Structure 1
Amino acid sequence: MDIQDLQLFITVVRLGSISAAARQTSLSQPSASRRIRHLERELGVELLDRSRAVATPTREGLEFLQFAERVIQQYEALQRHFSTTSPPFHMSLNIAASTTPGEYWLPTILPPFQADNPHIQISLCVMPSAAVETCVVERRCDLGFIGRPPNHSHLRHWVVAEDEIVLAVSSSHAFAGREKVSLGELNGQPFVCRSSGSATHEVIVAKLAELGFHLSRQRLALEVTSVPAQLNAIAAGQGIGFVSRMALAGPGQSRVVPVPIAEVKLKRKLYMIQDPE
C-alpha cells in the first residue's frame, strides 16, 4: 500500500462510491477497484460492504479508515515541515559546447530558459567539437552542442540553429567595404585559421574544396586555438580568415568586418547532441 491507496480509500468512504472516488482522484474506475481489492488482499480482510448501493466500510474497514486518516495527517504535517525547513530542490544540467554555440549562441538562449526554470543549475564548458562528442559519449555531460553532425553515429542529434560563416578582414584591409570578393581573389592572401578540431574550420575547408578552393594550399600566417585570438590577429592585419558571423556581432569587433564571397553563401547548422542510453 502507498499514500495514494490510503487517500483513495478515505475518498471512497467519504463519497460512498468507488467510481465517484476514482473521478475525484483522477483514476479510472477499474484502476480504483483494483487498488481497493489489492488493499483487502494485502490486509486479509474485506474493507467495504459491497452488498449495499452505497460503499460502506466494514468493521475492519472502519479501523483501517482511522489508520489511513492518521497516516495522511502525519504525511501532510511532514510535507509542511520540509517545505519550511529544507532548501529548495535543485537539478544540475551540465553542457559541453564547441566555440560558436558555447560562446555566442547559448549565452543568448540560456537566460530565458533559466528564468523559467530557476531550480536548474547550469554548467557550461566550452571545448573543441571532438572533445564535446567525447564528453557526451563518456557521459561527463548531459548535453552537447557542436557546429556539425556528430561523428558517433549512435548519438541522437537535433538541429537547433543556423549559422553563417563569413570571410573576416581587418577594417583597414583592401577587401573592407567591398560588396563581395571572389574566391580567386583570395589566392596569395595570408590566412589566420583555427587549429584542427574546430568544427568551423572543418566545415569551411570542406565547403570551399567543393568549389575548387583548397584552404590547405594557401599561405598560413597564423594558426590559433580560439576565436578571440583569431579576431585579434585579423584586426592587427596578420591575415584574413573565416569565422562565424555570430562572433562578429559581439562588442568591440568594429576593427574586423565581414566580406561576402561571390560564389557562395556559407551556411551551416548547429546541433544539440545526446547519448540515448
Structure 2
Amino acid sequence: MADRRLQVFHAVAKHGSFTRAAEHLFMTQPAVTFQIKQLEEHFNTRLLERGHGRISLTPAGELVLAYAERILGLSEELESRVSELTDELSGVLNIGTSTTIAAYWLPQLLERFKRTFPRVIPRVVVGNSQLTENRVATRELDIGLIEIVSDQQAIEHFSAAKDALLVICAPTHPLAKASAVQASDLIEHAFITRDPGNAIREIAEEFFEAAGIPMAEVNICAELGSLATVKHLAAEGMGYAIASQAAILRDIREGRLVGIPLEPRIYTPLEVIIPRDKFRSRLINTFAEHARTELAAMAETFALKAQLASRNH
C-alpha cells in the first residue's frame, strides 16, 4: 500500500548505500536510483548527498525519512487490521528480545506460533534487555521479551515466568564441588561478567550488594556481551560466571560446565512488554498471550531437566 518511492528511500537511508538497498529490496541498482530521482523530483529538492562513496541525508531528507517511517509503519498496521477482518492473522510483527531469550527460548516459541499463524512474519531484533526495553518504549518495536522488570511508564509488562541463575565453572574449578555458594564464597575467585545493560549482570550486582559486598571488591576478569564466550572462558577455567539455567543445561549434561545454586536463590524474570498506549492489533495481543503461555510452560520443562541433570552429575 505504501508509496514504492518511500520504501526505496527508506531502505537507502537505513542501509546507507544504493547497492545494499537494492540487494535488500531485490531490485537493480539503476531501479533504486530511478525511484530516488522520482521522489526528489516530486518534492523538488535534493534528499540525499552523494560523495566519496558515502550517502548522507539533507535536512529535507531527514524530514522525509521521519515521515516515511511513520507512513510505512501505518501501512503495515493497515495490512494487519484488514486481514483481521477475514480472520486470517497476518502481517509483520516487530519483536525485540534479549540475547539469552533469543538463543534458548525464542526458537521454540516462534516455531509454535508460526505453525498456528503461518502468514505472520516475525521480524526479530536481538539486543540486551535494556536496549530492547528502550526500543519498545519508543515504539520502534511492537513487543519485547526481556529479563528485567520494566519500570518505564511508557511500557506495559506481563510476568511470564522466571529462570534460576547459577554459578557456572569448569569441573576442575575450586567451586565445582560446592552444593551451593554464597556471595562471600566467590570473592577470592575471578568473575566473568556480562556487558552493561545486560539483565543478568544487573541481578548479579544486586546479589553481591545485598550481601554487603560492593562491586569494587568483586574480582572481575572480563566483561562480555556474548554468552557463548562467557561459557567458553568458564569451561576453560578462566573464572566463574553467573548464567541462566536454561542457557547451560546442555553444557552441564555434556560435562563442560558445572552449575551451582546460589544462596540465597536468585532468578531472572521473563517479561513480555508492549508500549502502554500503542494501538493494539489482534496480532500483537495474540502473540503477547502466546509468549506468556509458552514461556511459562518452557520454564517448567527447563526446571525439570535441570533437576535430572543435577542428579546425573
TM-score by length of 2: 0.56
- Preserved CA contact (<8 Å) 1:102 1:125: no
Report how far residue 246 of structure 1 moved.
Answer: 1.1
SS in 2 for 1:232: helix
- Preserved CA contact (<8 Å) 1:171 1:256: yes
Report how far residue 89 of structure 1 moved.
Answer: 8.0
Does 1:196 pair with 2:196?
yes
Give a deviation string over 1:197-253, Cα, whole Å, max 9, x none. Answer: 101110121133112233442111111111111111111111111111111024686
State how far apart, in whole Å, the 2-side matches of 1:108 and 1:229 are: 23
State how far apart, in whole Å, the 1-side matches of 2:147 and 2:246 are: 12
State how far apart, in whole Å, the 1-side matches of 2:255 and 2:224 are: 20
Q: Compared with structure 1, are the counterparts of its residues 179 and 221 closer, same or farther at alpha carbon in structure 2 (3 Å cutoff)?
A: same
SS in 2 for 1:162: strand
SS in 1 for 2:140: coil
- Preserved CA contact (<8 Å) 1:98 1:145: yes
1:114-125 aligned within 5 A: 114-125=114-125
- Preserved CA contact (<8 Å) 1:103 1:126: no
1:121-270 aligned within 5 A: 121-250=121-250, 254-261=255-262, 263-270=263-270
Q: Which residue of 2 aligns with 1:71?
A: none
- Preserved CA contact (<8 Å) 1:161 1:270: yes
Report how far residue 254 of structure 1 moved.
Answer: 3.1
Q: Which residue of 2 aligns with 1:54?
A: none
Give a deviation string over 1:100-129, Cα, whole Å, max 9, x none. Answer: 222212223221121111111112221011
State how far apart, in whole Å, the 2-side matches of 1:141 and 1:275 are: 8
SS in 2 for 1:156: strand
Letter in 1 for 2:173: H
Report how far residue 177 of structure 1 moved.
Answer: 3.4
Q: Compared with structure 1, are the counterparts of its residues 216 and 97 closer, same or farther at alpha carbon in structure 2 (3 Å cutoff)?
A: farther
- Preserved CA contact (<8 Å) 1:148 1:269: yes
Q: Which residue of 2 aligns with 1:111?
A: 111
* Unmatched segments (≥5 aa) in structure 2: 1-87, 278-313
Q: Compared with structure 1, are the counterparts of its residues 114 and 190 closer, same or farther at alpha carbon in structure 2 (3 Å cutoff)?
A: same
Deviates more, 1:167-176 or 1:209-218: 209-218
State how far apart, in whole Å, the 2-side matches of 1:238 and 1:220 are: 11
Letter in 1 for 2:245: R
Give a deviation string over 1:144-196, Cα, whole Å, max 9, x none. Answer: 11111124222000011211111111122122233223332212111111011
- Preserved CA contact (<8 Å) 1:145 1:272: yes
SS in 1 for 2:118: coil
Give a deviation string over 1:71-105, Cα, whole Å, max 9, x none. Answer: xxxxxxxxxxxxxxxxx984111110112222212
- Preserved CA contact (<8 Å) 1:148 1:271: yes
Report how far residue 141 of structure 1 moved.
Answer: 1.5
Deviates more, 1:136-145 or 1:246-255: 246-255
Report how far residue 257 of structure 1 moved.
Answer: 1.4
Q: Which residue of 1 aligns with 2:75?
A: none
Q: Which residue of 2 aligns with 1:58?
A: none
Letter in 2 for 1:189: H
- Preserved CA contact (<8 Å) 2:251 2:257: no
State how far apart, in whole Å, the 2-side matches of 1:90 and 1:182 are: 49
State how far apart, in whole Å, the 2-side matches of 1:221 and 1:123 are: 36
1:92-107 aligned within 5 A: 92-107=92-107
Report how far residue 133 of structure 1 moved.
Answer: 1.6
- Preserved CA contact (<8 Å) 2:170 2:237: yes
Deviates more, 1:225-234 or 1:173-182: 173-182
Q: Which residue of 1 aligns with 2:276?
A: 276
CA RMSD in angstroms comes to 2.0
State how far apart, in whole Å, the 2-side matches of 1:131 and 1:115 are: 29
State how far apart, in whole Å, the 1-side matches of 2:92 and 2:255 are: 37
Mark the structure with the bigger radius of gyration: 1
Give a deviation string over 1:34-86, Cα, whole Å, max 9, x none. Answer: xxxxxxxxxxxxxxxxxxxxxxxxxxxxxxxxxxxxxxxxxxxxxxxxxxxxx
